[in-house]
Structure 1
């Protein structure tokens, strides 16, 4: 056991540091996801507008987010805000802004798709019962939309958790950064430390993301039955 690289995980507080780094990643992803859901619902409703200028703006926003890599957005916000606006953002704050910007666009498109998939007679039935437009959305449309969105929201959260590994490049001390610090500190004493450290990081990400992925798949299957 003395010569096995696995011992690096249990020296000092290394394992606790990895867990702490994972918590940083999860916190960024969860905060950004909560903001994305709120903004995405509003954006999705706006996307259903028939006005051409609104449609063009929404399409431009969505395509910009989908075409531009998240890493480029991170650099633009983190370094651009400091240089051009004299705003000193922390890496975590910059990451939340970027992931919210990305997540809101993705969420908005999911909401738009869910709203448009609801048959027109659902709206007509509500209006026929004397409901206002707000009541139709509140009691008929939104409950059905939320039900259809849950699997997609879980998949988006999983993607967001995995993408947080990019924030290491703007100085955030998350789980990948902690792992690199542990490896660098043991480069000469434990040559195969990287195998064990990155292996554990893989297991951590898998343990967090797999339940969401499976739940999304089961819910999607249940909704289709």
Structure 2
């Protein structure tokens, strides 16, 4: 067994450390998705604003986030803010900031698309009933848009979970970083440890992301009928 390298998983607290690193990944991605979704709703509505300046600003924000690689954004927030603005954020806090900004931009575009998909007469009917803009969105438009939005939001969640592997490069001890530490510490006793460590990490990400992807596909098929 030791020759196969699988024993490294059960040496000391290695397996528990991997689970702890995975939890770091999950809570950073989960918190960022929640914050990004809340902000993204307002960003999506702002993208359809009658005010041209607001629309242009939202478009610049979306394009900037999409063009800039997430790793560069992580470095800008983690290293740049500390140097330029003397704001010292931890690696985890920097990750939450970056993934929230990314999630808000992506969610905003999803919300915009979902709102556009609502027939125009729905807006006109709400206006005829005397609803103001806020009431129209809250009571008529957003509940319908959720059907279009939810499957795409789940797909965004899986993308965010997978992309959090980048936070190891700013010192956050997540699953991949823990795995690298275990491999480095046991490279002589368990030369094949990488196969098992990365295999467990792959399996953990699969068990988290596959059910989400499956749920998104089922929702799409259910609501398409």
Q: Is the pair's TM-score, using the shorter chain for normalization, greater than 0.5?
A: yes
Deviation (angstroms), 1:116 = 1.1
Q: Does 1:192 align with 2:196?
A: no
In structure 2, the residue matched to 1:102 is 102
Select between 138-147 and 123-132 the one with higher mean Cα deviation: 123-132
Show CA shifts across 1:172-225 (max 9, x none): 000000000100011011111001100110000000011111101111111111
In structure 1, the residue matched to 2:148 is 148
Name structure 2 gaps, 5 residues minimum: none
When residues 51 and 131 of structure 1 are mapped into structure 2, their CA distance, relative to the original with a 3 A threshold, is closer
Q: How many residues align?
A: 225
Show CA shifts across 1:114-153 (max 9, x none): 1111001111122223333332222211101122211011
Q: Does 1:69 align with 2:51?
A: no
Q: Do 2:2 and 2:190's aligned partners in 1 also have CA atoms closer than 8 Å?
A: no
Q: How does 1:12-51 map to 2 (within 5 A)?
A: 12-51=12-51
Alpha-carbon RMSD: 1.0
Q: Do 2:9 and 2:197's aligned partners in 1 also have CA atoms closer than 8 Å?
A: yes
Distance in 2, Cα, partners of 1:141 & 1:180:
48
TM-score by length of structure 1 reads 0.97
In structure 2, the residue matched to 1:120 is 120
Distance in 2, Cα, partners of 1:139 & 1:216:
24
In structure 1, the residue matched to 2:134 is 134
Deviation (angstroms), 1:52 = 2.2
Distance in 2, Cα, partners of 1:142 & 1:97:
26
In structure 1, the residue matched to 2:217 is 217
Select between 24-33 and 124-133 the one with higher mean Cα deviation: 124-133
Q: Does 1:3 align with 2:3?
A: yes
Name structure 1 gaps, 5 residues minimum: none
